[in-house]
Structure 1
């Protein structure tokens, strides 16, 4: 596996730590040869009919010369290879893991930019959520090309270093670069990185997909329990099911009947009662309170 920055020479790098370094230094990186061509071909075959059937998108952000469809975990069993790619997933967990108990899938979305499609408005995906905490990343996107991405056919456009310039809504296009890459490679970029889908000035569509991971306590772009009901998720590997929403985020977020929703996959009865999902430090504080070891704070007492 080889990681590169489009704007620089392409030396060889190995492992998730180099991905993390480049994400924090430039706001993006490209991992070449991230999956095998056989896995890619199998996924493309599964999704091909859906690209043909899906209607054009509506709205000034999506663009009326694009097609988009979601819920890709239920559309192809080959999604597992992409969503759970070892080095990429470890890098995502490193970037996001200090700010949540567990990460989640924010969305899986197949995208086709048709000939004549205009450049998408530049944006930062973190702006879906109306909050910003300095030093905290809310999501990491992974773009997987199904066809070669070029500057002419709509390659994703990135503003390097824009994750450090978050107060600038618009940055001059002269500072942006199209990320040209071959199928089998993956483009990772932070939710704080300014980017856009490029214009397609060719006669052929540009196809690919985005797999997006976010902090587990955020409301995701794609509602997981609607996208992946229990009868669908029960056939998935446990790690994939957890990313798709079947895991409570401690303390007690994302539960069903007061319990971790993973019980839906095990055949357990729903009437067995609520079960706490707490962090160890919270359990420790409760134990200390019960024993009287916690003294009331006087910090807010009246003078």
Structure 2
């Protein structure tokens, strides 16, 4: 029997840090518990929003381990395991499986700039090396390469690939994948602002940045679209719009960490080369949270 296709809101979890810059395990557990309690459909540790590129291998393992423990089987845990070194990606994948992740998130290889045929070889080698289901992550704005619709669909026929997090911002490309994908393959928006549009075209949800701060709202939007209630989904999308705008006034995860700090969930602590949000943006961010009902005025 085929597993149910991934659906809904997956939170691309922030990684909380203590004042001395180490992983804040207490805050991480609390963040994961809050997300699951708010109804998110899946959690995604150690992606871009989790500052995975600045975590040591030991820290990466620990963040996913804590997430798996705290989730305790309630929702899928899609662990970031990507690398622009295929062998490293395989090794990380094997480790993520060993500590209980249910899925892997694998980004297109950044910096190397492989052609389409090389990206296909990269993803297939990872699938050969570890038997967890894979979510492909296409984010050209960070990697400088785009996994074209034809390439994504070529991977999608292989049941080891179960979804794509599509953050190209190219709706024509995304809708081509939606139209031609096999039944088992989910299409998840990688851009919060396009969630409604992607789902209206038949997509399955979002791996979200803003759901770190407003998990119930983004989950409700996905649920509304899942039951065909476009009017309610549009209302929720309008309510989310100021938060989405504020969450990207500087590079992610700078603004979302500022939001979570304002809400008392973690310290506004990032690792270089990222720094805290400019003070001049704080009024905008705070006002967006108040408007969404996430923070008292």
TM over 0.5: no
Which structure is larger by alpha-carbon Rg, 1 or 2? 1
Write 1 or 2 for the structure with the bigger share of helix: 2
Give the TM interval when normalised to the shorter protein: under 0.3
